[in-house]
Structure 1
Amino acid sequence: MTLTDPTHQEPTQAGDRTIHDPRTGEVVGRLTPATPEESAAAVDAARAAAPGWARTPAAERGTALHAAAAAVRAAADELADLTERETGKPFAEARGGVDAGIGTLVQYAELGPLHRGRTLHGGWEATDLMVSEPRGVVAVLTPWNDPVAVAAGLIGAALVAGNTVVHKPSERCPATGRRFAELVAEHLPPDVLCVVDGDGAVGAALSTSDVDVVAHVGSTAAGTEIRRACAVSGAHPVLENGGNDPLVVDAGVDPVWAAEQVALGAFANSGQICVSVERIYVHADVAEPFLDALTTQAHEWAERIGPMVDREQRADVHRQVTESVAAGARLRTGGELPDRPGAHYPPTVLDGCTADMALFAEETFGPVAPVRVVSDFDTALQEAADDRYGLGATVLTADMEHAQTAWRTLPVGTVKVNSVFGGAPGGAAQPRRASGQGFGYGPELLDEMTTVKVVHLEPAPAGRR
């Protein structure tokens, strides 16, 4: 498919979307969604290119991905600038996301040619193999909050495993997503990587089309629809969806340090990270000094965070905050719409929250730290575990027994102890329940992008060849 810049199209079709800079509100681009015919043509083109790409030696696919990583590296500032203008993510953070994407492309360029296969121990006269093969065509649907890093992982793993890809970037950052795809596609045969522009309707059409994998990072509502579509079509879903990640502050920890950890988890990228801290349980013994320190942290973070992605997302967050205050939560700081252009929202701290408030029951995806004071650690763990999501959780404790109990019992894909964003490279957790399914990162993502064929080779009897 031909890659074109959607911001050059005039907004004359139904469903066109204007992209505003979240910092200033000015128009920075326009998106014309792909028609059903254009989406179908992209899938058909990727399907036609699949056999040739699958037959390309794995080392050559890895070399192509290395070249794509070099191209992205050369255009890193351009991609970071596009990300900042379309999503409001500060340039330094946006550049960090691009750099992470470059590293991910290199990682899969190296891992792909080494992907597993094995021999089986059968009879002497036969050979038995388990062979890894590409699944075929992968629909990759990526979000706006870290567009290059997420796309690099899913697209890189799919391509190096021998699949072709149809990529739909988020409608909130179409120019970023399309430019990244252009840079990668320049180093691939035609139609191995196709791009379609559009919103959720286009993504839904792709997930019900003739594809073999649907890889999606985004909302739980969209992920639920994709699960249903894949159950009918037989496509393999790889989903990282919403999270409502808890953080537990145990007795005996330094309340100022705990507040710093919580502020980082709740306010970084204006709270718009899949694994942001969404609800905080603090032991009563340290509650007051912790809340004071967290309020101070919120004031400090107000000077350095960027805006939210758009006013629509900001309105959803503000609604949750105001509803919680009306239901009895106490606003410590923030919670007011600023009188300025763009989609800014202040770091917000509330206490007195209850489990039935939307701030605690649903993913907020904004710079909000809702706090609930509990009487003991066991209560905190029990309430933290009582949730329909299962993405991640953090526990701050000096008690090793509590740490061990926490990671053993919390029903989530990732548990972090004493470091809200800590973790070694290569981690590939599986989100649970409403948060998705499948490995979305690390070497295990190659398993999601491939299928296994068992082969039994035995010679024909003498005289019958």
Structure 2
Amino acid sequence: MTAMHAIDVHSPRDSQLVGWLPTATAPEVSAALATARSARPAWAAVPAAERGAAVREAATALRHRASDLATVVETETGRPFASAREGVLAGASTLEQYAELGPVHRGRSLLGSAVDFMVPEPRGVVVALTPWNDPIAVACGLLGAALVTGNVVLHKPSERCPHTGLLLATVLHQCFPARVLQTLVGDGEVGAALVSSSDVDLVAHVGSTAAGRAIARASSAKLLLENGGNDPLLVDDDVDPVWAASQAALGAFTNAGQICTSVERIYLHKAIAAPFLDALCARAREWNADPQPLVDVRHRDFVHSQVGDAIAAGASALVGGSVPDGNGAFYPATVLADCVGAMRVMCEETFGPIAPVQLVSSFDEGLAEACSGEYGLAATVLTSSMEHAQRAWRELPVGTVKVNAVFGGAPGGAAQPRGASGTGFGYGPELLDEMTTTKVVHLGVPTGRS
């Protein structure tokens, strides 16, 4: 790890400098790790109800600063204020959820010649590496679950939104004892120094597959990884094509396609291709009337490279497909027809407002295509057939299957990615199990004495 340097953040809307922050140095990282290790026993000994009360206080503090945080998120990432504020409030709700669930997180017991009981205990020092696309909500899930179960946390927010991470730290730190939650500004070098340390017991990372694989190589700790995705949308021939197109647009274009479970590739039954594509193009033009920038120009150029490769290989851009004039990291909602599986836009993660469409002749063909690839985050099927819905959720090799809705789910729902998309539960009550380890106690009665 090299000496301290600065992270510059530029506005995705006009490319102007938002600000800069110094990264943590090697001695600062080492000191933070030592501080975390020393703080571990005292926080683990705090009664679970008191830890829950602290997490609940953090949720309240977050709600009070929701607008401030949303403003910084919009400034650094380009996410519109209203949407960014929803993300902050979602983070507060997640903290409230874990404030309730943490104190009642329990083990099991067995009765035999002796009593066996299984006790959940905190793992110890948790490193949380969080992303830029939904920085508050994701961070609150990992931090809340870790802290309420008695772990101490080192949080490194994405270098694309470090001011957001620091403001979140300001809001949360007041609710916990000193040293229990530390925030470090840094890039990949700081993250690598954290995850490779023998003082770390668990690494929780939400980000790219490349970064997740590097973490897996470098760390000997327990890993929770939510990595990239290439989520398919399968459109059957028995659904309303206009409704299906609205679902496709929602999944592909929301937050400029920068959601972990965005629709990345569409398999469309050719029987409804014409009305579906007409409606999808209409929705794309509506999105382009009020565009949202991508997080930065570097990412914009990556997205455009995939579109350009697809067009060169025979795809047609029905809407969008070109870099607009002017400053900022804007890229239009784009509809690509005539796509095939070998195109990068169909087999790699794009993470942009792109809706690539491949026509299929049958549900069977579409399902086979949707099952292809190395990623296993999520998938959606739109169908009126219960048989097809059942086949889809049984056969799709992903952690989450959504039927007839690209987004949504029950409160407190869990998610467990597969394949190149990661490992371990990242949400729901099950995340408390990931944040703890189990001690089994055999409790017998002494014998042989009168």
The question of a shared fold, defined as TM-score above 0.5 by the shorter chain, is answered with: yes
Does residue 223 (structure 1) correspond to residue 212 (structure 2)? The answer is: yes
Paired-residue identity, %: 62
Q: How far, CA to CA, are the matches of 1:36 and 1:362 in structure 2? A: 35
Q: How far, CA to CA, are the matches of 1:456 and 1:116 in structure 2? A: 17
Q: Which amino acid aligns with 2:66?
A: A
2:102 alignment counterpart: 112
Alignment of 1:33-72 (within 5 A): 33-72=23-62
1:411 alignment counterpart: 397
Equivalent position to 2:19, from 24, 29, 41: 29
Alignment of 1:250-289 (within 5 A): 250-289=236-275
Q: How far, CA to CA, are the matches of 1:357 and 1:52 in structure 2? A: 54
Q: How far, CA to CA, are the matches of 1:69 and 1:167 in structure 2? A: 17
Instruction: Indicate the SS of the match to 1:92.
Output: helix
- The answer (yes or no) to whether the contact 1:72–1:184 under 8 Å persists in 2 is yes
- The answer (yes or no) to whether the contact 2:4–2:25 under 8 Å persists in 1 is no
- The answer (yes or no) to whether the contact 1:267–1:305 under 8 Å persists in 2 is no
1:80 alignment counterpart: 70
2:341 alignment counterpart: 355
Does residue 130 (structure 1) correspond to residue 123 (structure 2)? The answer is: no
- The answer (yes or no) to whether the contact 2:126–2:203 under 8 Å persists in 1 is yes
Q: How far, CA to CA, are the matches of 2:231 and 2:316 in structure 1? A: 21
- The answer (yes or no) to whether the contact 1:269–1:305 under 8 Å persists in 2 is no
Does residue 242 (structure 1) correspond to residue 228 (structure 2)? The answer is: yes
Deviations 1:41-98 (A, max 9, x none): 1111111100000000000000011111111111110000000000000000000000
- The answer (yes or no) to whether the contact 1:333–1:349 under 8 Å persists in 2 is yes
Q: Which amino acid aligns with 1:239?
A: L
Instruction: Indicate the SS of the match to 1:189.
Output: coil
Q: How far, CA to CA, are the matches of 1:87 and 1:360 in structure 2? A: 25
Instruction: Indicate the SS of the match to 2:420.
Output: helix
Q: How far, CA to CA, are the matches of 1:453 and 1:182 in structure 2? A: 35
Q: How far, CA to CA, are the matches of 2:328 and 2:26 in structure 1? A: 33
Equivalent position to 1:165, from 141, 153, 156: 153
- The answer (yes or no) to whether the contact 2:132–2:161 under 8 Å persists in 1 is yes
Q: Which amino acid aligns with 1:212?
A: D
Alignment of 1:356-375 (within 5 A): 356-375=342-361
Q: Which amino acid aligns with 1:45?
A: T
Instruction: Return the offset for 1:136.
Output: 0.2
- The answer (yes or no) to whether the contact 1:268–1:305 under 8 Å persists in 2 is no
Instruction: Return the offset for 1:219.
Output: 0.2
Q: How far, CA to CA, are the matches of 1:37 and 1:140 in structure 2? A: 19
Alignment of 1:61-460 (within 5 A): 61-123=51-113, 126-209=114-197, 210-230=199-219, 233=220, 235-460=221-446
Instruction: Return the offset for 1:429.
Output: 2.0
Deviations 1:210-238 (A, max 9, x none): 200000000000111112223xx2x1100
Q: Which amino acid aligns with 2:154?
A: V
Total equivalences in the alignment: 447
Q: How far, CA to CA, are the matches of 1:40 and 1:197 in structure 2? A: 14
1:10 alignment counterpart: none
Q: How far, CA to CA, are the matches of 1:282 and 1:424 in structure 2? A: 27
Instruction: Indicate the SS of the match to 1:398.
Output: coil
Q: Which amino acid aligns with 2:56?
A: H
Q: How far, CA to CA, are the matches of 1:198 and 1:447 in structure 2? A: 29
Instruction: Return the offset for 1:290.
Output: 0.7
- The answer (yes or no) to whether the contact 2:97–2:412 under 8 Å persists in 1 is no
Worse-superposed segment, 85-94 or 451-460: 451-460
Instruction: Indicate the SS of the match to 1:29.
Output: strand
Instruction: Indicate the SS of the match to 1:387.
Output: coil
1:8 alignment counterpart: none
Instruction: Indicate the SS of the match to 1:171.
Output: coil
Deviations 1:178-203 (A, max 9, x none): 11122111111111001111111211
Q: How far, CA to CA, are the matches of 2:125 and 2:101 in structure 1? A: 20
Distance 1:58 1:14, change over 3 A: closer
Q: How far, CA to CA, are the matches of 2:371 and 2:21 in structure 1? A: 40
Instruction: Return the offset for 1:108.
Output: 0.3
Q: How far, CA to CA, are the matches of 1:304 and 1:396 in structure 2? A: 27
Q: Which amino acid aligns with 2:278?
A: D
Q: Which amino acid aligns with 1:215?
A: A
Q: Which amino acid aligns with 1:313?
A: H
- The answer (yes or no) to whether the contact 2:4–2:24 under 8 Å persists in 1 is no
Instruction: Return the offset for 1:400.
Output: 1.0
- The answer (yes or no) to whether the contact 1:31–1:171 under 8 Å persists in 2 is no
Q: How far, CA to CA, are the matches of 1:357 and 1:323 in structure 2? A: 7
Instruction: Return the offset for 1:462.
Output: 5.0
Instruction: Indicate the SS of the match to 2:440.
Output: strand
Deviations 1:393-449 (A, max 9, x none): 000111111111101100000111110102111211210000000000000000000
Q: How far, CA to CA, are the matches of 2:169 and 2:291 in structure 1? A: 28
Instruction: Return the offset for 1:315.
Output: 0.3
Worse-superposed segment, 174-183 or 130-139: 174-183
Q: Which amino acid aligns with 2:310?
A: S
Instruction: Indicate the SS of the match to 2:393.
Output: helix
1:6 alignment counterpart: none
Q: How far, CA to CA, are the matches of 1:103 and 1:420 in structure 2? A: 22
Instruction: Indicate the SS of the match to 1:394.
Output: strand
Instruction: Indicate the SS of the match to 1:316.
Output: helix
Where structure 1 has 5 or more consecutive residues not aligned to the other structure, the ranges are 1-12
Instruction: Return the offset for 1:14.
Output: 6.1
Instruction: Indicate the SS of the match to 1:117.
Output: coil
